Structure 1
Amino acid sequence: MQSPTHPAAQAAFIPTMRELVRSYQAFSTCSETHLRKLDLTPAQFDVIATLGNTQGLTMGELGEKTLITKGTLTGVIDRLEKKQIVQRQVLLDDRRSVVVKLTSTGEKLFEQVFPAHIAHLQERFEQLETSELELLRVLLVRLRHVF
């Protein structure tokens, strides 16, 4: 195995890293632009999509299931609560636990924006063959495990 300082290893690593970053930036821009048209931020969509089709989740569960940091999550929930999209409920049997759930307005929003955004992204992924998507998924899992 070549050391990371070996010129051949650097020759393969640097362009791959750049392409990974460029791919993520392109995906992020495509997704965020569409979400902004739906009057949502990526974090707000993440919460709405995660809460959709559930009876609600605790803040801890939301933190585990979304891609939002704990410090950011509270602010996102605050803003969604002001828009009457989510509501917080303190559990009677455990007053330390707060459950966040979609309001009826939030449920309607979920039913509109989730399928619309998934369809928007699916149009891009459908430009790849099924075998390419599977190979990409396998390689991304492998890369995640490396880190």
Structure 2
Amino acid sequence: MSTPNAFKAVALEPSLATVRALVRAYQAFSSYSETFVRQYDLTSAQFDVVATLGNTQGMSMGDIGEKTLITKGTLTGVVDRLERKGLVTRETPPENRRSVIVQLTAAGQQLFTQVFPAHIGDIKQHLETLDASEMELLRVLLNRIQTLF
């Protein structure tokens, strides 16, 4: 049976503090990003799809799913809403009628060229407080953490 001291020891585990810091950093970035893209009447997931499709000839739903952080079940709804907003179209290639290609409309491409550079520029401005070696260390550590799970 666990004792209060055992719980206290677990609560003081250094890895827990690291995970908390990682989660808080993610939440802070996610909140910032959501607020930024809301100015353009987009959700983070919608922005992710628009950013992924920008400057391409379109992609299959499977490719979009692989390149974004959006689950397959959520992606269909996100693309549906972008289609209703007139930002994407779905086309079935004649050579593979089981596949659907999603591409930005002219309005979607225009939104991409407006929002994407602004968002990246804003992120860059926030991250410029880190020097090049800190940025590289952060990237390496985050990639390493990703491989652990």
Same fold (TM over 0.5): yes
1:12 to 1, 11, 14: 14
2:64 to 43, 56, 62: 62
Among all aligned residue pairs of Structure 1 and Structure 2, give the percentage whose two residues are the same amino acid.
59
Q: Distance in 1 between matches of 2:110 and 2:17?
A: 44
- In the other structure, the counterpart of 2:120 is 118
TM-score, structure 1 as length reference: 0.92
Q: Distance in 1 between matches of 2:16 and 2:122?
A: 31
1:145 to 136, 144, 147: 147
- In the other structure, the counterpart of 2:50 is 48
The amino acid of 1:108's aligned partner reads Q
2:30 is aligned with 1:28:
yes
- In the other structure, the counterpart of 2:4 is none
- In the other structure, the counterpart of 1:101 is 103
Alpha-carbon offset, residue 39 of structure 1: 1.4
2:82 is aligned with 1:86:
no
User: What is the SS of the residue equivalent to 2:144?
Assistant: helix
Q: Distance in 2 between matches of 1:14 and 1:78?
A: 39
TM-score, structure 2 as length reference: 0.91
Q: Distance in 2 between matches of 1:79 and 1:146?
A: 35
The amino acid of 1:30's aligned partner reads Y
1:27-74 Cα shifts (integer Å, max 9, x gaps): 111111111112110000000000001000011111111110000000
Q: Distance in 2 between matches of 1:71 and 1:11?
A: 36
RMSD: 1.6
